[in-house]
Structure 1
Amino acid sequence: MRFNFFSRNNAQTVNHAGAEAYVLTPQLELYAAVATASLNDQYYEKADTRLLRLRELIAKNNPQFVAQLAVYAREQLHLRSVPLVLAVELARIHNGDSLVARLMGRVVQRADEITEILAYYAQANARSGRKTLGRLSKQVQRGLAEAFNRFDGYQLAKYDRDGAVRLRDALFLVHPTAKDAAQQALFDQLVRGELPTPYTWETELSAQGQVAYATPQERETAFRQKWEELIGSGKLGYMALLRNLRNILEAKVSAEAMTLVCATLASQPAVARSKQLPFRFLAAYREVKTVQSGHVAAVLTALEDAIAHSAANLRGFGADTRVVVACDVSGSMQQPISAHSKVLLYDVGLVLGMLLQSRCQQVITGMFGDRWKQVALPRGPVLRNVDEFYRREGEVGYSTNGYLVIRDLRQRREVVDKVMIFTDAQLWNSTGDGGTIAREWAEYRRTVASQARLYLFDLAGHGATPLEVRPENGVALIAGWSDKVFDVLNAVENGGSALSEIEKIEL
């Protein structure tokens, strides 16, 4: 078993709530911080503080591991901003080989990510604007030049947006060599601002909005027809479809168009290609529920099918494996994952918890705050179960007495194999009785179930855990908001770890 990367002498510390906690190794702390990074202010940590901590952790880790983690975050966890941050920060401290250039080529998957990297490069190096960016490091320049060569005219036009750095600015900074005459012509058009306007749902609706209409009814008809045209064209991407379900329903498109919408949402190949994070389906589900339309029931069913497809390869546990799924509903979990999102950390935990519950044969589900409460729910309807949990979260209060989950098992002497806790890992005891999850877990393993394992699903990445993450303690750490956390779970079950999954990445 490959557990040699866990520290054998974890220093005890305190968490943000002042409760006892344990320090992670630099590798584990960086992994948890990256997998949960929204780069927005959080309940316990400001965005600037998280960036500073990321910078310090990058310096403490092996450059190869940092690069592998950046690619893992981009390609497996489907995160966009934090892999770019890792690439730029690594470029600031590492040179002498082609690692940074290769990394840039892997994490840049959209044309606008070139400009995002350059904007962050300016910020990280205390510069502002294209003219003050100065010369790029050779490896950054080489990696971004190779990225430029991958994009066609449609992609360049689609992502040529206003900002501190434009694609035209990036072209002058990076100096990519066109791979052929056709691409050189595209570069020349980009410089002159003459790239053709791409056909996207945004440009189509924007153009529709510029038309003068004689009556509101005429405008309503025009937009309904435009949505029907976009839906029928097949050029409305999956994410755009998810985000516009309310608009589509409120436009009162035809039954034929709605049938196509539902078929697309519920298509397993379309779901797989879309690479949506599971909580995106929850956000769409909640938006649709508020709309008054005869098509709402069909759309909700399609969204249930979609999230089921998104976890089609999720390996649960068989009939003989006894599992506990415990979701933290404390006050700090009521934090939006970003400034522009209605989705809370609490929601992410519930979605992941219900996905796991849907794949287990013998499972206890529940939530904890001031108290621990088991909640029996049917297997299958993931999004409906999440909303049922959400409706009942006030029943247990808003503290973080996670130790009660284990105490309940110990006092009832109930033998289970796996305990899954979805939390921000800032557990503390509001009762004053001295109980901690670390002590309860040790006693439970000693007196009730010596082979039980606890999986701490860290949804915030604050850098410390309420238990020591060590195999002899039966404790493993898994971080992130993606269904890919269950790939890590499977790896741990087979003798690996989160870090071993990252170290498989080839650069």
Structure 2
Amino acid sequence: MAKFNVRGARAAASSPVASERIPTGRTHEGAPGHARDAKSELFLLAVSNMVGEDSFYEKSGDRDDRFRALVHKVAVEDVEWLAAFLPWLRAEAGMRSAPVVAALEAVRARLGAGLHGGNRQLVASVLRRADEPGEALAYWMSAYGRAIPKPVKRGVGDAVLRLGTEFNYVKWGSEGKGIGFADILNITHPGDRKGSAQAGRFQGPWQHDLFGYAVKRPYRPDAPIPASLETLTRRDALLSMPVGERRRVLEDPETLRRAGITWEALAGWLQGPMDAAAWTAIIPSMGVFALVRNLRNFDQAGVPDEVARRVAERIADPEVIRRSKMFPFRFLAAYNAAPSLRWAWPLEQALNHSLANVPALGGRTLVLVDRSGSMFGRVSQRSGLDRADAAAVFGTALALRAGAADLVEFGTGHRPVEVRRGESLLAVLQRFHSMGGTNTAEAVRANYRGHDRVVIVTDEQAWGGVRGAHPAGQVPESVPVYTWNLAGYRYGHGPSGTGNRHTFGGLSDAAFRLVPLIEARRTAAAGWPWQN
């Protein structure tokens, strides 16, 4: 009788985040810990790492040292992988500091190993916002001194050519920073070198004029603005207006936009309060992140309903949210902070749009959300939310979209979270609690009842338990178990990468797209998120 060559037999899928099968360490709470290979550990750490900030179990210095060591290893062993990962980390996963630090540390490691190809491109690929060239140079000089290698200078210079516009100079080029725009130009000399497709290519004569003016201005504040720089000319005219006449300009918001006046600069320019008239004038020029961040301020200033309606339309626009790359938990933070209910529906829509990758899984799904004490450390120092909130957002979204799902929160104990078909995601989030410790294995054992898959959203720092070697050990090996790691600690709570045991990570929904790929068995191996 055939045992293996039978109808319905399929190749067993594997997934990219791979760990050892037999644990060699311990989680921070004492359970057997499964170490991962360098790329897997780096991936999980990078997609959740706010560089320079403590996590619940790791001090920032220890965490950053581990990050640097992993980058150095991978940069020397597999730079092609790193060159694909870092742009994805910046653009799709929405991380800012981690890819910049990783690119610079990768260049340092590669130069130390005598490897020179592709280093400039690594640096340029992660600098996507106009303040990041200055951030990159400041990081290098603070860590390694003022001797900056040519690949770093030229990579930064390539980004400056791409990002160097009048508006960006006005918004991000303040001489009040440690490294101002003039300093960046003096260090990197963008456009002055030959030898690549990017070097030496100004966007136009106006950019040549902008760079020349920017270099002069710190030493000659009265230097004339070149005629080609229309934004700076208009801004200079507004700055020259008597303070008593400036509020008249609020009646013409287009004048503010064309002069590059941002919402951050408007109050200082007016030298007065940001009242309803001021917000009404500047709102058309604001990006969606700034809009979401200022909903409370709009209400406190008494912004008219018609203006609020236009704000709500932008927040609820799926394309606007897609381009913003905002983390889903940002919308929960805004919902918790905004006093007016008029923002509830657009924020609900924005939250759903930001979770576009969450699949509608068929069959029965068990979703377990970690609400232990370690999950209540903040995602970042500037964030109003913690990893427990992020876990609740992702777990609830998955449960609401699944064909049939049981949603459970766990810690020391465990309890079901009610989910009614068709109800608001924000409403479900109000039912979560703090649950103490991290008894993951018991939560899985007690709630698994023949489900088709199990999803655990956690930091993986499980208690050492008496039932089974690891949480996924409570589920038959034929049933897929997906761990979504939100913290990136060294040791995981179980094996992953093969045998229906898979680990993803990150603070965005990007990882979810791998679940249906694995279950469809399109290939024997599901690749990294940027490969699918």
Partner of 1:183: 207
Residue identity opposite 2:370 in structure 1: D
Whether the 8 Å CA contact 1:491–1:501 is kept in 2: the answer is: no
Residue identity opposite 1:242 in structure 2: V
1:370 aligns with 2:412: yes
Q: CA deviation at 1:498?
A: 10
Residue identity opposite 2:508 in structure 1: S
Q: CA deviation at 1:436?
A: 4.6
Q: 2:92 aligns with which of 76, 87, 91?
A: 76
Residue identity opposite 1:34 in structure 2: A
Q: CA deviation at 1:265?
A: 1.3
Q: How many aligned positions are there?
A: 461
Q: Distance in 2 between matches of 1:3 and 1:365?
A: 24
1:484 aligns with 2:496: no
Partner of 2:35: 23
Q: CA deviation at 1:48?
A: 1.1
Residues 5 and 332 (structure 1), Cα distance of their counterparts in 2 relative to 1, 3 Å cut: closer
> Residue by residue, what CA displacement relative to the aligned partner does 1:217-271 show, whole Å, maximum 9, x if unpaired?
xx5xx7111111123xx21110000000000011111111111121121112221
Partner of 1:109: 128
Q: CA deviation at 1:405?
A: 2.3
Q: Distance in 2 between matches of 1:313 and 1:174?
A: 39
Report SS of the residue matched to 1:18: coil
TM-score by length of 1: 0.86
Q: CA deviation at 1:7?
A: 5.2
Unaligned 5+ segments in structure 1 are 128-132, 212-218
Q: 1:166 aligns with which of 168, 177, 180?
A: 180
Residue identity opposite 1:227 in structure 2: W
Residues 364 and 5 (structure 1), Cα distance of their counterparts in 2 relative to 1, 3 Å cut: closer
> Residue by residue, what CA displacement relative to the aligned partner does 1:16-46 show, whole Å, maximum 9, x if unpaired?
1222111111111010010110121111011
Residues 305 and 9 (structure 1), Cα distance of their counterparts in 2 relative to 1, 3 Å cut: closer
Q: CA deviation at 1:312?
A: 3.2
Q: 1:63 aligns with which of 79, 82, 104?
A: 79
Partner of 1:250: 300
Say what the alpha-carbon RMSD is for the aligned residues.
2.2
Q: Distance in 2 between matches of 1:3 and 1:275?
A: 25
Q: CA deviation at 1:315?
A: 1.8
Residue identity opposite 1:402 in structure 2: T
Alignment of 1:26-425 (within 5 A): 26-39=38-51, 40-61=53-74, 62-95=78-111, 96-125=115-144, 127=145, 133-134=146-147, 136-151=148-163, 152-161=165-174, 162-177=176-191, 179=202, 180-193=204-217, 196=232, 197=235, 198-208=260-270, 210-211=271-272, 223-231=275-283, 234-288=284-338, 291=339, 296-318=340-362, 321-379=363-421, 380-389=423-432, 393-394=433-434, 397-409=435-447, 414-425=449-460
Whether the 8 Å CA contact 1:369–1:401 is kept in 2: the answer is: yes
Q: Distance in 1 between matches of 2:106 and 2:212?
A: 32
Name the stretch that deviates more: 309-318 or 364-373: 309-318
Residue identity opposite 1:86 in structure 2: A
Partner of 2:462: 427
Whether the 8 Å CA contact 1:329–1:368 is kept in 2: the answer is: yes
> Residue by residue, what CA displacement relative to the aligned partner does 1:112-150 show, whole Å, maximum 9, x if unpaired?
10010111111331x2xxxxx13x222212211111111
Residues 81 and 351 (structure 1), Cα distance of their counterparts in 2 relative to 1, 3 Å cut: same
Report SS of the residue matched to 1:199: coil
Q: CA deviation at 1:490?
A: 3.5
TM-score by length of 2: 0.82
> Residue by residue, what CA displacement relative to the aligned partner does 1:180-230 show, whole Å, maximum 9, x if unpaired?
43211100121123673532111112222x14xxxxxxx5xx711111112
User: How many percent identity over aligned positions?
Assistant: 28
1:452 aligns with 2:479: yes
Q: Distance in 2 between matches of 1:43 and 1:451?
A: 34
Whether the 8 Å CA contact 2:14–2:497 is kept in 1: the answer is: no
> Residue by residue, what CA displacement relative to the aligned partner does 1:37-66 show, whole Å, maximum 9, x if unpaired?
012111101111111001111222222222
Report SS of the residue matched to 1:154: helix
Q: Distance in 2 between matches of 1:48 and 1:497?
A: 39
Q: CA deviation at 1:97?
A: 4.0
Q: Distance in 2 between matches of 1:7 and 1:279?
A: 29
Residues 117 and 302 (structure 1), Cα distance of their counterparts in 2 relative to 1, 3 Å cut: same
Whether the 8 Å CA contact 1:353–1:422 is kept in 2: the answer is: yes
Q: 2:496 aligns with which of 469, 483, 486?
A: 469
